[in-house]
Structures are given as structure tokens and as C-alpha cells.
């Protein structure tokens, strides 16, 4: 259920937490690639990884909208791929 906090997650191999994006799409993309969560085409490759975004998405950087759109698309891709651990 969206918005419901959970203490444990079944079927999750690892958790990757990313914080304070501040609208910096390039840095966010690099972090996701280094964590093997996306490929060069920005497609979800995270398998059974739970991605947690903490802190500010918007702030100083110019690409807040791109980050939000990517997060929303990755959530759908992870769900379709059976990796519903990304919430």
C-alpha cells in the first residue's frame, strides 16, 4: 500500500538509499549506474533491489523534473519486471 511504512521487505536482495538529489540529474544518473540499478538507456536493471530516495529531490539543480520523471518510470519498470520491491 503506497505511503505505508514497513520495517521488513520480503524478496529484497539489497537496499540502495540515495539522498538529497537537489535537482542534479547527472549525478543521480551516475549513482544509479554505479549501483547497477539502470543501464546506459536509463532502464531498470536493479533486479530485486529496493531503491530508497531520501531528502530533497528539488532544490538548487535545474533538472528536478527529469529526476521525478525517471523515478516514476523506474518504479513502473521495476514493477513490470517483477521487482516490485522498488516503492
Structural domain that includes position 54:
20-80
Is the residue at 76 inside a domain? yes
Taking each continuous run of H as one helix and of E as one strand, the counts in the chain are 2, 2
Domain count, the chain: 1
- Whole-model pTM: value is 0.80
Is the residue at 13 inside a domain? no
**Residues 86, 79: contact at Cβ < 8 Å?**
yes
**DSSP 8-state class, residue 13:** S
- In this prediction, residue 8 carries a pLDDT of 75
Q: What is the pLDDT of residues 50-66, one digit of tens each?
A: 899 998 888 777 899 99
- In this prediction, residue 2 carries a pLDDT of 63
Is the residue at 54 inside a domain? yes
Is the residue at 27 inside a domain? yes
Cell of 76: 513502473
Is the residue at 43 inside a domain? yes
Is the residue at 9 inside a domain? no
Nearest one of 23, 70, 22 to 42, comparing CA atoms: 70
Name the burial class of residue 35, with classes exposed (0-12), middle (13-18) and buried (19+) by CB atoms within 10 angstroms of its CB.
middle
Amino acid at each position: 500500500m503506497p505511503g505505508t511504512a514497513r520495517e521488513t521487505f520480503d524478496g529484497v536482495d539489497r537496499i540502495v538509499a540515495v539522498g538529497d538529489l537537489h535537482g542534479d540529474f547527472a549525478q543521480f544518473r551516475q549513482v544509479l549506474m554505479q549501483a547497477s540499478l539502470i543501464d546506459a538507456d536509463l532502464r531498470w536493471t536493479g533486479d530485486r533491489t529496493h531503491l530508497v530516495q531520501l531528502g530533497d529531490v528539488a532544490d538548487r539543480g535545474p533538472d528536478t523534473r527529469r529526476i521525478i520523471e525517471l523515478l516514476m518510470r523506474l518504479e513502473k519498470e521495476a514493477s513490470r519486471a517483477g521487482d516490485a520491491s522498488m516503492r
